[in-house]
Amino acid sequence: MDLKNKIYSLFENIDVSLLEDIPKKGIRIGIKFGDNFIGIIVEKSRISFSDSMDKLDNEIITDENSFNEFLEGRKSLVDLLLEGKIYISGKLSNLLKLVNVLSSKSINLGFESGLCKTLKAVFEGICNKNDEIIKQIKNFNASFQFSDFQDNECCLIINEGKFNVLEGRCKVKPNAIISAEKEVWYKIFTGEESVGTIAMNGEAKIEGNLIQAFKLKTIIDKIF
């Protein structure tokens, strides 16, 4: 089965009754690989297809081989983002809602691969390619330390309109330190809970400049 028919089959077999929190207008997703484009409209009662690229909520741009590797579980989403072989626009949480109900059990997001690797994929693989987010950080220079309380630490540096994630502690004093259990980070990455909700519930520990941490939250909210 070629990739185009594989994608059609995958989405046609979704049980829409399992989908949660789908907006009334639905979610419009465009998948582009090579010269091929598939528009997918996800609504509460059905899933349909379109050739239109207008008013997309999410756009996925990749190549045929990479997307096949993802669908077959040979490469995770995190791997493809780090390798620069997939571009995703819009809220990642929209796509995660679909992944959770897809009939294919081989798809691997890769969020369990570690805090630093996942944050690197999100900030360098997604945020650095998002024009809206890049404009937002034009005059925002800061560093943030992340931890999962299990000796896994990484440093996010925002400087000159770019995100850079380094493994280990920040070499200079970070503006804020954000710590949460591994399971809590997984909830954030999968869109199960928002950063704001987790912070209010006390599931995350935030130390340092809360204003700067809030600015970072507004960026993360654009992704998850």
Segment 5-21 mean pLDDT: 89
User: If phi over 0 gives left and psi between -120 and 50 gives alpha, with beta otherwise, what is residue 89?
Assistant: beta
Percent of the chain with pLDDT over 70: 99
Tokens at 157, concatenated:
């540096």
Q: Are strands 204-208 and 27-33 parallel, antiparallel or unpaired?
A: unpaired
Q: Which of 174-178, 182-186, 220-224 has the highest mean pLDDT?
A: 174-178
Contact criterion met (CB below 8 Å) for 89 and 63: no
Query: Who's near 60: CB < 8 A, 6+ residues apart?
Result: 29, 30, 31, 32, 86, 87, 88, 95
Determine the Cα angle at 108 with ends 103 and 112, to 5°: 135
CB-count exposure of residue 92 (10 Å: 0-12, 13-18, 19+):
buried
Residue 1 has pLDDT above 80, yes or no: no
Query: Who's near 52: CB < 8 A, 6+ residues apart?
Result: 39
* pLDDT given for residue 131 in this prediction: 93
CB-count exposure of residue 168 (10 Å: 0-12, 13-18, 19+):
exposed
Segment 110-120 mean pLDDT: 92
CATH 3.10.20.30 fits 3-109, yes or no: no
Where do the structural domains in the chain lie, given as residue ranges?
A: 3-109, 113-220
Nearest to 162 by CA among 144, 143, 138: 138
Residue 151 has pLDDT above 90, yes or no: no
Segment 197-215 mean pLDDT: 91
Nearest to 96 by CA among 74, 114, 82, 78: 78
Residue 103 has pLDDT above 70, yes or no: no
- Helical axes 3-12 vs 64-71, angle rounded to 10°: 40
pTM value is: 0.89
Q: Are strands 176-180 and 86-89 parallel, antiparallel or unpaired?
A: unpaired
Contact criterion met (CB below 8 Å) for 183 and 198: no
* pLDDT given for residue 17 in this prediction: 86
- pLDDT tens digits for 43-98? 989 999 999 888 999 999 999 999 999 999 999 999 999 999 999 999 888 888 88
Name the DSSP class of 171: S
Segment 123-127 mean pLDDT: 96
CATH topology of domain 113-220: Nonspecific Lipid-transfer Protein; Chain A (3.30.1050)
**Looking at the DSSP assignment, which residues form a beta bridge with residue 204?**
180
Confidence of residue 16 (pLDDT cuts 50, 70, 90): confident
Query: Can you tell me whether residue 34 is helix, strand or coil?
Result: coil
* pLDDT given for residue 86 in this prediction: 97
Segment 149-165 mean pLDDT: 95
Residue 105 has pLDDT above 80, yes or no: no
Residue with token string 């582009």: 32
Residue 30 has pLDDT above 80, yes or no: yes
Examine domains 3-109 and 113-220 and report if their fold is the same.
yes
The backbone torsions φ and ψ at residue 125, rounded to the nearest 5 degrees and listed phi first, read -85, -25
